Every structure is written in C-alpha cells, then in structure tokens.
Chains A and B, each alone.
Chain A
Amino acid sequence: MQFDKELDARGLSCPLPILKTKKALGELASGQVLKVVSTDPGSVKDMQAFANQTGNPLLESAEENKDFIFYLKKK
C-alpha cells in the first residue's frame, strides 16, 4: 500500500504506539497515509479504537513475522 510517512514503533509498549501515531498524523496533510510498524500485540485493537474515536480511517491492519503493520489515513 502507498504511504507518505512511516513510523517505527517497534519495541514500544502501550500507550506509546498510539501517542506517537497521533503525533505523526499531526504532521501529515489531510488525505495522506501513515504506515505504523509495532511489535505490541495490544496495538491491534488500540489502532482500531484510535481510528474509530478520532475519525482517521484505518485502511489496513496486517501481521508480518513478529510485526504489526497499520495504514492510517489522515482525515
């Protein structure tokens, strides 16, 4: 998937993946896509909740080896 910015949140535990995602999204323009890579299993549900609450759609959520990959679009 195409993305405009990548955030490496590997090795970080809750709530850092979400907090850093919020910060990174703040730097994007509306419509741009952020790719987040995390190793925190809790981040799967957290990202969905974050997307629901903030209205920034979660385009894709995938698992690759030990990493969890998310694509979020800035609303």
Chain B
Amino acid sequence: MATKKMAIIATKGTLDMAYPPFILGSTAAALGYEVQIFFTFYGLQLLRRDLSDVKISPLGNPAMPMPVPMPVLVAALPGMESMATMMMKQKMKKKGVAPLEELRALCQEADVKFIACQMTVDLFDFEKSDFIDGIEFGGASTFLEFAGETDICLFV
C-alpha cells in the first residue's frame, strides 16, 4: 500500500487556528502519512521560536463560547484580548489539551515537514533567526509540487 500524503496550508496565526494544522499534521504522521505544512501570511507566527504571543481575540468572534455574555464594545476594551487568551490557555491546560509548543515538537519528531513562505518572510521583514530550526523556506511552486500528489490537501 503506497504511503498516503497530506498537505496543509496554514494561513492564520491566532491561538484557535494554530491547533488544526498541528493536530492534523501530527495525527496524520502517527497514522503513517507523509505530511507537509506550508506556513504563509499569519501562519508564519506559528513557526516563531517563542509562541507566547499567539493570541485569541474575543472581538469579532461571535462563535466563541463565553462564560458570560459579552457586548462587542466590552470585547474591544484594553486588556480583553490578553484576558481571553489567558482564559483559553488555562481551560486547555485543565482539559489536558497539549500546548502548541508540544504539538509542534511532536510534528517535527514525526518528520512532518514545515515550509515557511519566503514571500511572507520578505513581506513582513522577518528574520530567519526568529523561527525554529529544521524548517525550509520556499514558495508556492515548492509547495504545489508536493500538494499535487496528496490524498488530503487542506487550507486553514
């Protein structure tokens, strides 16, 4: 049976959108898939050495479950974003959800290939040293060469 392949394009950098690429990537790898994740635009934030800046905002997030009803104007107040991020992280820890750093490390251990979009790095003037080791830099063609052969290709 030929090895199955999966490609994910990670375009978002918020805490809630950080989980799907790493969870799917690590699990697929555990199931024997060959996996590549292409990080572009805000997805590049997920390749930073320090992930403590990955946040979630209550603003403009009407589907986010809240302990108390929250009017939009309150969600826009200073400090609300930090509070929402802190509460979400606390909840995740309590429920045994793996922290991002751990999931990312498990991905790399399972030979999931991380590709950083060179164009985005140039666009936002990021430094290669901002990012973790073991990643490649490439463009759309690099990614599409692999993506065209995959059984599963996802856009997050």
List the interface of chain A (C-beta within 8 A of B): 11-16, 18-19, 21-22, 40, 49-50, 53-54
Contact = CB atoms under 8 A, between A and B. Distances in A.
A33 B27 CA distance: 21
A14 B96 CA distance: 9
A49 B26 contact: no
A22 B23 CA distance: 14
Contacts of A14: 23, 27
B84 interface: no
Contacts of A50: 30-31
Nearest to B98: A16
Task: Name the 4 nearest CB pairs between A and B, nearest first.
Answer: A53-B31, A22-B30, A15-B27, A11-B96
A11 B98 CA distance: 11
18 contacts: A11-B96, A12-B96, A13-B95, A13-B98, A15-B23, A15-B98, A16-B96, A18-B30, A19-B27, A19-B106, A19-B110, A22-B30, A40-B96, A49-B31, A50-B31, A53-B31, A54-B30, A54-B32
Interface residue range, chain B: 10 to 19
Interface string B1-35: 00000000000000000000001001100111000
Nearest to A39: B96
Contacts of A15: 23, 26-27, 30, 98, 103
Is chain A's interface secondary structure helix, strand, loop, or mixed overall? helix
A53 B32 CA distance: 7
A56 to B, nearest CB: 10
Contacts of A22: 30, 110
- Interface hub of B23, B27, B98, B103 (most chain A Cβ within 10 A): B27
Contacts of B95: 13
Contacts of B98: 12-13, 15-16
Nearest to B1: A55
Given A50-B30, A50-B31, 13 more contacts: A11-B96, A12-B98, A13-B96, A15-B26, A15-B103, A16-B96, A18-B27, A19-B27, A19-B106, A22-B110, A53-B31, A54-B30, A54-B31
